[in-house]
Amino acid sequence: MKNLKTEDREIADLIVGEEIRQREVLEMVPSENYTSPAVREAVGSILMDKYAEGLPGKRYYQGNRIIDEIENLAVARFKKLFGVPYINVQPYSGSPANSAVYFALLNPGEKIMGLALASGGHLTHGHPRVTFSGKYFSSVQYAVEDNGWIDYGKLEKLVAAEKPQIIVCGTTAYPRFLDFAKFSKIGHAVGAYVLADISHLAGLIIAGVHPSPVPFADIVMTTTHKTLRGPRGAVIMVTETGLRKDPELGEKIDKAVFPGLQGGPHENIIAGIAVCAKEASNPEFKKYGEQVVQNAKALAENLLSSGLELVSGGTDNHLMVIDLRKKKLLGNVAAAALEEAGIVTNKNAVPGDPLPPFYASGIRLGTPAITSRGMKEGEMKIISRWVGEVINFLVPYPDLAVVQTKESRSAYSQKALDGIKFNRRLKEISGEVKNLCQKFPVN
């Protein structure tokens, strides 16, 4: 960063600080991963200087001959990876991509059906009132059962009664396989479009360790980071099923992305997406995806053995959610304590959560980033021991009434957070984490 250090030392120093932080901690937020040096070089390239509104061959600016080649390459590589006939690589990220699908296919007030946030769904899947998807469209949410699993029989009855225009099969904190064939049958029975949001699962699908939605869904959306190890972008795919339902579906998606919701695409990101697609086509990537799942299963088994409770009782994919209700702990306090110990996770709602999302009753953690570092099942056993020790160290709230009001939650939370800041054992674990991380350096 020679030029940056000369021009803006303050920002350069902060970037170096973040590099050090990432090297010395266990990044276990399931939606985070490490990009390759090649991806970072593409994203940081001169391509960021170019405006390219429109599609390859149909731009509104001159000077896009090479840009067209880059974008066409990204499209071709993703078509081959997923076996789809139509793709748009221009969405800025997953939330705008889902919004583009709704914008293309729905009128204001028409109905979306998605998995509820506390059940492991995403905000853009119709979360009511506070989101674009929940405010401008009618939203009906389905939920998991008390055991943390989707009941497809109940879902079928709900869809038959509500008749949504779009049903979203996708999650952000659901640790089990999604049955895309059942979603397709249920949605198509009422004439709904079936949108598969595989943002968390894309890399696992490519690796063959999670079922693919491509034979069943009309539209498939994925972000390009998470298990794909690419930059922060997104792609929207139209399947053969979708084109049979609507031959103009691809064109509708293109127009919704631009000019419907966006201006010029970020071609430096698209170049990074092309690079990550090439990396994902290598045999080594399949081994990576397999190890992600093996690590997650090993981590889950060891967490259960340490006395912690997991939503749905385990995992089939790359993530798990620790349910802290029986421990009487706030998720935000547990996440802060784990970070103090060098283990980075995120607070997360659990099914039937009595607490609001900012506090939540769960912790979400996963294995994509630590697997990218080369860690395997042996390290999962060590990590689970640290996680269990940190959580069991925390002081529970006496009863739910103590944290049911905004004021009491804030007071209890602050007192608990103050108690962990200078805890000696958390500092010791942080040192042990750092020693482990040194054995598995980040590229």
- 183-213 pLDDT, tens digit per residue, is 999 999 999 999 999 999 999 999 999 999 9
Cα dihedral angle (143, 350, 352, 135), rounded to 10 degrees? -60
What does the pLDDT look like over 118-160, one tens digit per residue?
999 999 999 988 898 988 999 999 999 999 999 999 999 999 9
Structure confidence at residue 443 (pLDDT): 85
Q: What's the gap between Cα 287 and its chain centre?
A: 21
Residues in the chain: 443
Comparing C-alpha atoms, which of 179, 172, 216, 218 is closest to residue 198? 172
Measured CA to CA, the distance from residue 230 to residue 266 in angstroms comes to 14
Measured CA to CA, the distance from residue 60 to residue 51 in angstroms comes to 9
What does the pLDDT look like over 376-407, one tens digit per residue?
999 999 999 999 999 998 989 999 988 989 99
Asked whether the predicted pLDDT for residue 107 surpasses 90, the reply is yes
Asked whether the predicted pLDDT for residue 419 surpasses 90, the reply is no
Asked whether the predicted pLDDT for residue 255 surpasses 90, the reply is yes
Q: For the residues 60-72, what does the mean pLDDT come to? A: 97
Residue 350's pLDDT band, with cuts at 50, 70 and 90, is very high
Structure confidence at residue 421 (pLDDT): 83
Asked whether the predicted pLDDT for residue 244 surpasses 90, the reply is yes
Q: Do domains 42-280 and 283-438 have the same CATH topology?
A: no
Asked whether the predicted pLDDT for residue 240 surpasses 90, the reply is yes
Structure confidence at residue 130 (pLDDT): 85
Q: How does DSSP classify residue 387?
A: H
Structure confidence at residue 351 (pLDDT): 95
Q: For the residues 8-25, what does the mean pLDDT come to? A: 97
For 276, the token pair is 């990550």
Structure confidence at residue 346 (pLDDT): 98
Whether the CB-CB separation of 172 and 121 falls below 8 Å is answered with: yes
Q: For the residues 365-370, what does the mean pLDDT come to? A: 98
Residue 77's pLDDT band, with cuts at 50, 70 and 90, is very high
What does the pLDDT look like over 263-312, one tens digit per residue?
999 999 999 999 999 999 999 999 999 999 999 999 999 999 999 999 99
Q: Known catalytic residues? A: 51, 53, 197, 223, 226, 232
**Cβ count within 10 A of residue 21:** 12
Query: What is the phi/psi pair of residue 206, to 5°?
Result: -60, -40
**42-280: CATH topology:** Aspartate Aminotransferase; domain 2 (3.40.640)
Share of the chain above pLDDT 90, in %: 94
Structure confidence at residue 422 (pLDDT): 81
Residue 427's pLDDT band, with cuts at 50, 70 and 90, is very high
Comparing C-alpha atoms, which of 434, 373, 337, 439 is closest to residue 24? 434
Could you list the beta-strand ranges (E) of 45-149: 54-55, 58-59, 86-88, 111-115, 138-142
Asked whether the predicted pLDDT for residue 175 surpasses 90, the reply is yes
Domain ranges for the chain, please list them: 42-280, 283-438
Query: Is 283-438 a domain of CATH 3.40.50.2300?
Result: no
Conformational region of residue 351, where left means phi above 0, alpha means psi within -120 to 50, and beta covers everything else = beta
Share of the chain above pLDDT 70, in %: 100
Average pLDDT of every residue of the chain? 96
For 132, the token pair is 């674009």
